[in-house]
Structures are given as C-alpha cells and as structure tokens.
Amino acid sequence: MNRIKKNRLKDQIFKAWGIFCTLLGIVLLAIFIGSILVDGIQRIDWDFITNLPSRKAERAGIYTALMGSVWILVLTTIIALPVGIGAAIYLEEYANKSKLSSLLEINISNLAGVPSIIYGLLGLEIFVRVIQMGSSVLAGSFTLALLILPIVIVSTREALKAVPKSIRDASYALGASKWQTVSRQLLPASSGGILTGIILALSRAVGETAPLIVIGALAYVPFAPSSPMDEFSVLPIQIFNWISRPQHGFEVNAAAGIIILLLITFVMNGIAVYFRNKWQKKFK
C-alpha cells in the first residue's frame, strides 16, 4: 500500500470515528430530552408555573423556585457585571504586563476551574456568617457572582483582545485618553462578545445547585422572595427535592421542572449565539 492510500485510509477511519462521537453525544442528549418530555410535558400548564409548593404533587407548582431563580439571576448580574467587566478592562488595558499581573491572570483562569461547592463554602463563611446576610437571596447572588466572575473576566478580556490594535492606535493618535478609548471604542466594539460571555456565565449560574444548598437555600419556601433579604429556593433545588420524594407524582413534577430549566438555558444560550454571530460580522 503506498503512502497516499494509507493516508486516505487513516482519513476515512478518523472521519468515521468523528461521526460516531458526534452522533453519540447528540443521540444521548436526544434520548435524555425525549424521556424527560414524555414524563413531564403533560404536567406543564399555567397552574404548574404559578402554583406555590404543596405536599400534594398534583397541586404543587414551581412559582417560588422560578421566582427565586429570577431574583438570583438579576442580582447576580447586577453584582458580577460591573466587577467582572471592570477587572477585565483593568487587566487588559491598564495593567502593565508585570509578573504580578501574569500571576493574577493565572489565578483567574484557575478560579474558573474551582469546584462550585468550594464557592458555596466561601459564601457561607463570608456572606452568610461574617457579613450576616443570612441564607438570603442576596447571599446566594453574591456567592454565584463570585462563581461566575472568572468566566465574565476571561470572556470580557477575550472580547477586548479581539478588537484590532489598529482601533486603539487610531483612537490614541487622535488624542483620546485611555478611558475615552475604552468607553467609546473598545466597549462598543466588544459588547457582543462581552454579552455572549455574560449570558453563558449566567446560564451556568441558573443551573447551579451545590453552592446554594451549602449557603442554606431551602428546598421548601412557602412564598416567592419579595426582597433581597428573603429566604429562597431555586429551580434546580426544587427539582432535586421532588426527585428525592417517593411518590410518582413528584417524579412527573421533577421532569416538568427540568423542562422549564432546560428551556431557560436553551433560550439564554440561543441569545448568546445570536449576539456572537452579530458581533463576529462586525470586523469582517
């Protein structure tokens, strides 16, 4: 067999393997979603979304958990956004490339890989106990904000890096200050990329369970939170709670809850993809 034929064969084998791997992922996901849909879809109606929790499976709804998740999302965004973007701008545009800043950089990348339960422990100690926020929505939001901060910082820096150097040159050459260049050129030009990163980070936050359990989020809350200091539950905790009950009715509820949670993450990811595509076109 000559070399060309050999290479072609290798190519074919690798292609087949690639197709198999891709299909494996898609098929598994499809089976999972399919079985969840079969179990849960008939349970989803307006009542399911607006009902408070209940001991009777058929009367129980996800309202409090859904509202808890919404509260968490909004507050986490408010906390993580300015801090994350600010840090990224500093590291990317202001900090000189010293040993200290490269140390910071490595640390931030490492933080993105720390298991989320560790953030829960940190949040429990600092926000719940030391600052005495209690097991409130606010404490949960601060904890999740910490958790997604590295992702926000890294993706914002990537987005800033992607703005061509020539844009910075042009702005500085016209007499713009650093802040003018950042605020008038770099942020608008990278907003799509920054937004994508933030949405992906938030879609991770909305699925987080462990750190919120650690800081004391409840599985059963009678009412939706009405202030940042209220106790709360979130969708994944509610789902977990239902699954752990013996009655079959709650299993159906859990499946229905999973559908809602998946829907939220899919929509968020969809929005992220939309912004990314729009943003990529800008510099072509």
Binding site for other proteins (CB under 8 A): 96-97, 164, 166-167, 169-177, 180, 184-185, 189, 282-283
Q: How far is the CB of 89 from other proteins (least distance, A)?
A: 15
Question: Smaller CB distance to other proteins: residue 182 or 201?
Answer: 182
8 A C-beta contact, residue 240 and residue 219: yes
Dump the DSSP string for 69-129. HHHHHHHHHHHHHHHHHHHHHIIIIIS-S-HHHHHHHHHHHHHTTS-HHHHHHHHIIIIII
Q: How far is the CB of 90 from other proteins (least distance, A)?
A: 15
8 A C-beta contact, residue 149 and residue 123: no
d(CA 217, CA 222) in angstroms, rounded, equals 13
Question: Smaller CB distance to other proteins: residue 30 or 170?
Answer: 170
Question: Smaller CB distance to other proteins: residue 37 or 176?
Answer: 176
Torsion of CA 46, 51, 53, 55, to 10 degrees: -90
8 A C-beta contact, residue 162 and residue 193: yes
Question: Smaller CB distance to other proteins: residue 2 or 166?
Answer: 166
Question: Smaller CB distance to other proteins: residue 130 or 173?
Answer: 173
8 A C-beta contact, residue 137 and residue 75: yes
Question: Smaller CB distance to other proteins: residue 176 or 219?
Answer: 176
Of 259, 242, 260, 258, the residue nearest 58 (C-alpha)? 242
Structure tokens at 111: 């933080």
Q: How far is the CB of 98 from other proteins (least distance, A)?
A: 10
Question: Smaller CB distance to other proteins: residue 36 or 176?
Answer: 176
Q: How far is the CB of 281 from other proteins (least distance, A)?
A: 10
In the block, tokens 């408070």 appear at: 52
Of 30, 80, 68, 79, the residue nearest 209 (C-alpha)? 68
Q: How far is the CB of 283 from other proteins (least distance, A)?
A: 7
- Amino acid letter for position 158: E
Q: How far is the CB of 282 from other proteins (least distance, A)?
A: 6
> How far, CA to CA in Å, does 120 sit from each of 56, 80, 147?
31, 16, 9
Instruction: Give the CA diameter of the chain.
Output: 74
Q: How far is the CB of 96 from other proteins (least distance, A)?
A: 8
